[in-house]
């Protein structure tokens, strides 16, 4: 105590106290700086053990402790922003993928042995004792790696975080490009890509979208930077916004195509049409002027399964025109039986020359051969399947082909033989009927008939909603 009092009485002590009283701000600031230096030194000293840093890193990840993880990491680029969401993604990935986490720890263990000569790599480490990977390659491993920071008095260790850059591109101008829900740029003809970064390792969700007249095309992709080996740091994301295009087909290349009620051009000018939405909101049909009037095709929706749409117009302009086809076929159905019963082909009024010729030859054989009995009976009706109609122009003639089921009651046996003593029985005959339009007479004629291929229990003919059934008196 006496010594302390003696010190206070010295001239030096008095001068020192006088300086302190006159320069309190300077003295206080100096003390603060000294304390900060001491604190930093203590913290740096606590991080001078790479094993401890790796252990703390592992513990922070296992315990889902983002705050502890933030204290351990050091961003490699000053322009990088610490993103807690990406840190959480890293923690989630390590916890859900033990193999990935183990690989990270092996890499840190290997990097530790390079930086610190006192530390040895675990003998269980797959990288232990291998010559396949150079020391330089080991240092570059991992998006999170062991980073040695050299200090004035001693070195310390942190978990380094490498910067990444993503170049996102699209093939269309006027497209909005978003990353993680936020728009990052809008493409132009001169600028279809953008380089983004530096970014923390993580999953980045990209969305590109562009509005077209008949569709809003969207493309989504994910850039997973965790899967990068840490060496390149550059990733590309390409967002193709061409959208879905479909083929427009018609038996008549000059068919006018309509989307909704809007005229968009002729089939011959529309090789690929689109982009189009696939949700059924787009409806397409075709129209064309014919000798009997302007006809249109059924309206068809574009869905995800649509690759092409046939807009060939129906061979009739309205219900009256359709009925004209039905009447022609029904008349032929009656006349084909009547001509054989009467042995007189002249009863045909709607059959073409080739058809009349076929029946005439058969009738003449019946007349000439005494063992051939004439047909007896009548036509009972038809079923016409407009769902399988084919409409074309062949040799300058408008031609229609469609399935027809003829229903008759005759003395023809089950096996095809005709005998006047046979009882009358019902027959169903399925045929493909070909009709042509005579522009001078302005009416349809039956040009040919043939047995229908593919008819049977497994056939789809005569099962749809487009079947027209007629019954005769």
Cα 283 vs. chain centroid, distance in angstroms? 20
pLDDT of res. 7: 45
Measured between alpha carbons, how far is residue 413 from residues 200, 336, 405, 418 in Å?
A: 86, 18, 18, 6
Q: Answer yes or no: are the C-beta atoms of 138 and 171 closer than 8 Å.
A: no
Sign of the four-CA dihedral 12, 13, 19, 22: negative
Residue 385 CA: distances (Å) to CA of 299, 390, 438, 472: 18, 11, 22, 18
In this structure, the dihedral spanned by the alpha carbons of residues 88, 91, 96 and 101, taken in order and rounded to 10 degrees, is 150
For range 12-27, the mean pLDDT: 60
If one looks up domain 164-239 in CATH, what number appears?
Answer: 2.60.40
Residue 265: what are its φ and ψ, rounded to 5°? 135, 175
Q: Each residue of 255-271: pLDDT tens digit?
A: 999 999 899 999 999 97
As its CATH architecture, domain 319-471 has Roll (3.10)
- In angstroms, the CA 157 to CA 146 distance is 7
**Residue 46: its pLDDT value, please?**
47
What the block records as the tokens of 257 is: 């195509």
398 membership: H or E segment, kind and range: strand 397-410
The reported pLDDT for the residue numbered 10 is 61
pLDDT of the residue at 44: 44
Boundaries of every domain in the chain: 2-44, 47-155, 164-239, 247-310, 319-471
Query: Residues 429, 406: contact at Cβ < 8 Å?
Result: yes
DSSP category for residue 271 = S
Mean pLDDT of the chain, nearest integer:
87
Residue 349 sits at φ, ψ, to 5 deg, of: -120, -15
H or E, element range at 112: helix 98-115
State residue 312's pLDDT score.
95
- Using CA atoms in the order 274, 277, 280, 286, what is the torsion angle rounded to 10 degrees? -10
Tokens (6 digits) for 332: 């032929």
Residue of higher predicted confidence among 332 and 25: 332
CB < 8 Å & 24+ apart, contacts of 126-135: none
Predicted pLDDT of residue 17: 62
For a pLDDT cut of 70, what percent of the chain falls above it?
Answer: 83
Rounded Cα distance between 70 and 314, Å, is: 71
Q: What phi and psi values does residue 234 have, to the nearest 5 degrees?
A: -125, 130
- What is the phi/psi pair of residue 470, to 5°? -125, 140
What's the pLDDT at 81?
Answer: 93
pTM of the model: 0.68
Q: Beta strands 308-310 and 247-249: pairing type?
A: parallel
Look at residue 224 and tell me whether its pLDDT is greater than 90.
yes
Return the higher-pLDDT residue of 338 and 153.
Answer: 338
* Beta-sheet strands, E only, within 255-396: 256-259, 262-266, 279-290, 293-296, 300-303, 308-310, 377-385, 390-394
Distant-in-sequence, close-in-space partners of 30: CB < 8 Å, separation ≥ 6: none
Span 376-410, pLDDT tens digits: 999 999 999 999 999 999 999 999 999 999 999 99
> 297-306, 369-378, 447-456 — which is least confidently predicted?
369-378
Question: What is the mean predicted confidence (pLDDT) over 276-298?
Answer: 93
Least confident interval from 55-69, 167-181, 305-319, 451-465: 451-465
pLDDT at 392 (0 to 100) = 95
């Amino acid at each position: 105590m006496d010594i302390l009092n003696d010190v206070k009485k010295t001239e030096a002590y008095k001068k020192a106290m006088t300086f302190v009283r006159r320069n309190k701000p300077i003295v206080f600031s100096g003390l603060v700086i000294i304390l900060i230096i001491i604190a930093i030194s203590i913290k740096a000293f606590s991080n001078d053990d790479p094993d401890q840093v790796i252990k703390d890193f592992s513990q922070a990840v296992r315990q889902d402790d983002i705050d502890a993880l933030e204290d351990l990491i050091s961003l490699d680029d000053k322009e990088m922003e610490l993103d807690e969401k990406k840190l959480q993604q890293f923690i989630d990935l390590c916890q859900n993928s033990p193999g990935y986490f183990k690989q990270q720890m092996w890499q840190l263990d290997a990097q530790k042995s390079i930086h610190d000569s006192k530390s040895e790599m675990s003998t269980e480490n797959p990288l232990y004792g291998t010559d396949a990977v150079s020391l330089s390659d080991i240092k570059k491993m991992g998006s999170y790696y062991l980073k040695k920071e050299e200090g004035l008095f001693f070195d310390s260790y942190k978990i380094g975080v490498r910067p990444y850059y993503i170049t996102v591109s699209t093939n269309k101008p006027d497209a909005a490009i978003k990353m993680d829900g936020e728009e990052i740029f809008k493409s132009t003809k001169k600028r279809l890509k953008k380089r983004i970064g530096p970014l923390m390792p993580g999953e980045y969700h990209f969305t590109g979208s562009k509005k077209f007249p008949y569709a809003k095309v969207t493309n989504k992709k994910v850039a997973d930077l965790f899967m990068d080996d840490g060496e390149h740091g550059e990733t590309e994301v390409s967002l193709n916004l061409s959208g879905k295009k479909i083929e427009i087909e018609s038996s008549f290349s000059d068919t006018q195509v309509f989307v909704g009620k809007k005229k968009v051009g002729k089939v011959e000018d529309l090789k690929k049409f689109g982009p189009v939405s696939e949700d059924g909101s787009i409806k397409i049909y075709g129209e064309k002027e014919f000798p009997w009037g302007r006809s249109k095709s059924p309206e068809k929706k574009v869905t995800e399964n649509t690759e092409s749409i046939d807009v060939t117009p129906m061979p009739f302009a309205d219900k009256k025109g359709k009925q004209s086809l039905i009447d022609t076929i029904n008349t032929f159905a009656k006349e084909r039986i009547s001509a054989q019963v009467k042995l007189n082909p002249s009863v045909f009024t709607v059959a073409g020359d080739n058809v009349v010729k076929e029946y005439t030859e058969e009738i003449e054989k019946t007349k000439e051969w005494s063992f051939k009995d004439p047909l007896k009976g009548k036509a009972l009706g038809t079923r016409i399947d407009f769902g399988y109609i084919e409409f074309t122009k062949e040799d300058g003639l408008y031609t229609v082909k469609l399935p027809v089921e003829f229903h008759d009651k005759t003395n023809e046996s089950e096996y095809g033989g005709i005998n006047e003593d046979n009882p009358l029985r019902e027959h169903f005959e399925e045929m493909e009927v070909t009709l042509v339009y005579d522009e001078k007479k302005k009416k349809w004629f039956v040009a040919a008939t043939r047995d229908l291929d593919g008819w049977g229990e497994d056939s789809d003919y005569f099962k749809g909603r487009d079947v027209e059934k007629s019954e005769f008196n």
